[in-house]
Amino acid sequence: MPSCFSRRWQLRQLIAASSLILLVACAEKPTAADATPLPVASTLPVAPVAPVAPVIAVDANLDIQPTISFSDWQAGFRAQALQAGIRPDIFDNAFAGVTPDMSVVKADRSQPEFTRPVWEYLDGAISAARVRKGQALLNQYADVLQNIETRYGVDRQVLVAVWGMESNFGQFQGTQSVIRSLATLAYEGRRRGFAQDQLLAALQIIQHGDITADRMLGSWGGAMGQTQFIPTTYNTHAVDFDGDGRRDIWNTPADALASTAHYLQSSGWQRGQSWGYEVGLAKGFDYALADASTRKSLAQWQQLGVSLANGSPLPAGTDQQQAALLLPAGYRGPAFLVIDNFRAILKYNNSSSYALAIGLLSERFRGGGYVIGEWPRNDTPLSRSERIELQSLLSAKQYDAGTPDGIIGANTRKAIRSAQQSYGWPADGYPTHELLETLRKP
Ligand code: CA
């Protein structure tokens, strides 16, 4: 999502089923090329600012330590911000009394050992309380949602699902100063250049008059408001939908929901289409086809033995509509065909578990969205150290899993498939304890 930065490093609830998480560069944003009537364009240049160097040294433990004081860093950044068009009074007011926030540093460096399985994550995401609250809000905001849907073409149920997932409908927006958090990360975080760009964008938002520095609150990673937009995404996609002159994603649901719709529209949302379907697979199906990079038309999937989960034929799609097969818990769990709108949701937050939760929650608001297939609820996901061991063992056995970093990306999945094929197992690319134990044997 626009809050990729926080998502990526926060690794909190969204890191369910870590093996499914697709961590990629979150800085890539869709362009705001469409002509939307209300966005308040930033009046400032959005040129990225080079990190102030040299600020950090990396010791043998890869522990990042600043080599200059915070105030020296701040002085250097101030000069750059002013050069980029920030007024001195805006900068000085925003930075008044700001010191590094050690809780942000800690959160940035944390790497959780254990992750929730995808089914537990979905249970939490699609709770009865959230469904009821979302349904009530769909009623309460029916008129504004109708207008947003008309303008941006994104289903109201999906918008409300994002609202629920991002901030529990505005309830949990984060209580930290965005300026302080981003200044901390720009001073000594792991992605200083990125944090500095976000910090500059945050100053632009303040200078534009959308919010004051003291009310600009968000997550430790700088994700802001009901939609948890990071500042650069805010500058490209936040809109003033209620027409009061301010893009207020913190306190105005109409602005927050329209901003989300604008972002999804720019991310390739197809009006009137689904996110995907739960499907059933024919006996002997080649699970190696279940990969985000393998995309086929619905007709092609049908020919390969894919039906809807209840056994009915797949809906008629177009040749342009490319679907990928998703097995969130491997071949023993439910299967989904996901299409364009699923990928648009991934631009919001690049986690297939998250996108699945949005899709299912949006359907649940209308009484659907129940998964028919059985989750392998007795399985425990591999811990981070087990995933690292798995990657090392795969590479040692000539299945190149890339750098052992505990992240199950495309290389690791490919290596897992190769190993599974050599054992004569279903090649779903899913990391299991069984595979780890087999690889441990000499
Ligand atoms: Ca507004």
Distance 185 CA to ligand 1 centre (A): 29
Q: Say how far apart CA 293 and CA 386 lie, in whole Å.
A: 25
Distance 323 CA to ligand 1 centre (A): 37
131 closest CA partner among 403, 363, 419: 363
Q: Over pLDDT 90: what percentage of the chain?
A: 78
Instruction: Report residue 191's pLDDT band, with 50, 70 and 90 as the boundaries.
Output: confident
Distance 246 CA to ligand 1 centre (A): 4
Distance 258 CA to ligand 1 centre (A): 10
Answer left, alpha or beta for residue 424, where phi above 0 means left and psi between -120 and 50 means alpha.
left
Q: Give the mean pLDDT of 245-261.
A: 97
> pLDDT tens, 5-59?
444 433 333 333 333 333 322 323 333 332 222 233 333 333 333 434 333 333 3
- The DSSP output letter for 176 is E
Residue 228 has pLDDT above 90, yes or no: yes
Cis peptide before 54 (omega within 30 of 0): yes
Distance 39 CA to ligand 1 centre (A): 10
Q: Say how far apart CA 398 and CA 308 lie, in whole Å.
A: 38
203 CA to centre of own chain:
24
CB 241 within 8 A of CB 256: no
Distance 308 CA to ligand 1 centre (A): 42
Please compute Rg for the chain using Cα positions.
23
Q: Look at residue 41 in the predicted model and tell me its pLDDT.
A: 30
Q: Say how far apart CA 328 and CA 363 lie, in whole Å.
A: 18
Q: Look at residue 112 in the predicted model and tell me its pLDDT.
A: 86
What DSSP assignment string belongs to 382-415?
PPHHHHHHHHHHHHHTT----S-SS---HHHHHH
Instruction: Report residue 65's pLDDT band, with 50, 70 and 90 as the boundaries.
Output: low
Distance 206 CA to ligand 1 centre (A): 15
Distance 173 CA to ligand 1 centre (A): 17
Distance 242 CA to ligand 1 centre (A): 5
Q: Give the mean pLDDT of 184-191.
A: 91
Distance 257 CA to ligand 1 centre (A): 11
Q: Give the mean pLDDT of 401-427.
A: 94
- What six digits make up the tokens of 420? 């599974």
Q: Say how far apart CA 260 and CA 238 lie, in whole Å.
A: 8
Distance 255 CA to ligand 1 centre (A): 6
Distance 253 CA to ligand 1 centre (A): 9
Q: Say how far apart CA 323 and CA 129 lie, in whole Å.
A: 32
Answer left, alpha or beta for residue 284, where phi above 0 means left and psi between -120 and 50 means alpha.
left
Name the residue with higher pLDDT: 53 or 341. Answer: 341
- The DSSP output letter for 55 is -
Mean pLDDT of the chain: 86
Least reliable range by pLDDT among 24-28, 104-108, 285-289: 24-28
Distance 240 CA to ligand 1 centre (A): 4
Residue 122 has pLDDT above 70, yes or no: yes
Distance 418 CA to ligand 1 centre (A): 53
Q: Give the mean pLDDT of 292-315.
A: 94
Q: Look at residue 73 in the predicted model and tell me its pLDDT.
A: 96
> pLDDT tens, 362-404?
999 999 999 999 999 999 999 999 999 999 999 999 999 999 9
Apex 92 CA angle, 87 and 93, nearest 5 = 100
Distance 65 CA to ligand 1 centre (A): 41
180 closest CA partner among 205, 204, 198, 159: 198
Distance 38 CA to ligand 1 centre (A): 10
Q: Give the mean pLDDT of 329-356.
A: 95
Instruction: Report residue 64's pLDDT band, with 50, 70 and 90 as the boundaries.
Output: low
Q: Look at residue 291 in the predicted model and tell me its pLDDT.
A: 92
Distance 247 CA to ligand 1 centre (A): 5
Q: Look at residue 176 in the predicted model and tell me its pLDDT.
A: 95
Distance 254 CA to ligand 1 centre (A): 8
Q: Say how far apart CA 126 and CA 112 lie, in whole Å.
A: 23
Distance 248 CA to ligand 1 centre (A): 5
Q: Look at residue 198 in the predicted model and tell me its pLDDT.
A: 97
10 closest CA partner among 189, 177, 168, 199: 189
Distance 96 CA to ligand 1 centre (A): 27
Q: Look at residue 189 in the predicted model and tell me its pLDDT.
A: 81
Q: Say how far apart CA 220 and CA 61 lie, in whole Å.
A: 24
Bridge partner residues of 116 (DSSP): 16
